[in-house]
């Protein structure tokens, strides 16, 4: 399976249906990158790096690696769809305003659940702690209640600008 080619082909079709999603492709012989910038200070950048064996998804300051499977391309675009809505967010734990742990969380209609987590090994344990959240709203959420606007959250803090 040519993972970069399949990702680019599938992605071009999907993104053509959504002109509101500003994006940029970078294509090389055996690698494909897709970048989607945050559209607000409370949003987060998304980048996919696809090579022949795996995909790395960058979400804000963090990343997750996915090994190649038969359904990986569809799964990645499902993840992208959710990351572009208020039903998915990044929650960062900070010490002295520097992030040391990030959680990619999804909203199920009732509560937030962690999908992916990444953290630093070395960080300022004695620094003043804070929490920041980031969320995109380019696409509508599937689980958010339309009459409430955004997803209820904000129990963990506001989306401070980076």
Q: Per-residue pLDDT tens for 4-33?
A: 999 999 999 999 999 999 999 999 889 999
Residue 23 covered by a domain: yes
What three-state secondary structure class fits 91?
Answer: strand
Residue 66 shares a structural domain with residue 97: no
Residue 93 shares a structural domain with residue 56: no
Rounded to an integer, the average pLDDT of 110-135 is 96
C-alpha 91/C-alpha 98 separation (Å) is: 13
C-alpha 125/C-alpha 94 separation (Å) is: 10
Name the domain boundary from 83, 105, 122. Answer: 83
Residue 141 shares a structural domain with residue 71: no
Residue 131 shares a structural domain with residue 74: no
Residue 12 shares a structural domain with residue 78: yes
In this structure, what are the phi and psi dihedrals at residue 11, rounded to the nearest 5 degrees? -65, -40
Per DSSP, what are the bridge partners of residue 25? 34
Amino acid 127: pLDDT: 96
Amino acid 143: pLDDT: 73
For the chain, the 3-state helix, strand and coil shares in percent, each to the nearest 5, are 20, 40, 45
Residue 10 shares a structural domain with residue 76: yes
pLDDT category at 1 given cuts 50, 70, 90 is confident
Q: Report CA 41 to chain centroid distance, whole Å.
A: 15
Residue 58 shares a structural domain with residue 118: no
- Evaluate if residue 48 carries a pLDDT over 70: yes
Name the domain boundary from 83, 104, 136. Answer: 83
Of 91, 131, 90, 86, the closest CA to residue 109 belongs to 86
- Rounded to the nearest integer, the mean pLDDT of the chain is 89
More confident call, 146 vs 31: 31
Residue 39 shares a structural domain with residue 98: no
More confident call, 141 vs 83: 83
Question: Which residue has tokens 């955004």?
Answer: 150
Vertex 89 angle, CA 55 and 33, to 5°: 25
Amino acid 145: pLDDT: 55
Domain membership of residue 122 as a residue range: 88-148
Residue 8 shares a structural domain with residue 25: yes
Percent of the chain topping pLDDT 70:
88
Residue 114 shares a structural domain with residue 138: yes
Asked which of 117-121, 129-133, 143-147 is least confident by mean pLDDT, the reply is: 143-147
Residue 79 covered by a domain: yes
The DSSP output letter for 42 is: T
Number of domains in the chain: 2
Residue 72 shares a structural domain with residue 15: yes
Residue 58 shares a structural domain with residue 99: no
Name the domain boundary from 59, 83, 107. Answer: 83
């Amino acid at each position: 399976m040519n993972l970069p080619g399949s990702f680019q082909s599938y992605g071009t079709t999907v993104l053509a249906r959504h002109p509101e999603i500003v994006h940029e492709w970078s294509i090389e012989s055996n690698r494909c990158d897709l970048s989607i910038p945050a559209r607000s200070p409370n949003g987060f950048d998304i980048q996919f790096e696809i090579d022949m064996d795996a995909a790395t998804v960058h979400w804000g300051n963090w990343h997750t690696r996915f090994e190649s499977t038969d359904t990986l391309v569809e799964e990645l675009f499902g993840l992208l769809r959710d990351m572009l809505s208020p039903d998915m967010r990044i929650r960062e734990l900070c010490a002295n305003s520097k992030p040391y742990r990030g959680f990619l969380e999804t909203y199920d209609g009732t509560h937030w659940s962690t999908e992916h987590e990444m953290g630093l090994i070395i960080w300022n344990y004695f620094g003043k702690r804070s929490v920041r959240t980031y969320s995109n709203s380019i696409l509508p959420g599937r689980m958010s209640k339309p009459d409430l606007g955004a997803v209820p959250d904000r129990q963990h803090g506001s989306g401070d600008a980076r």
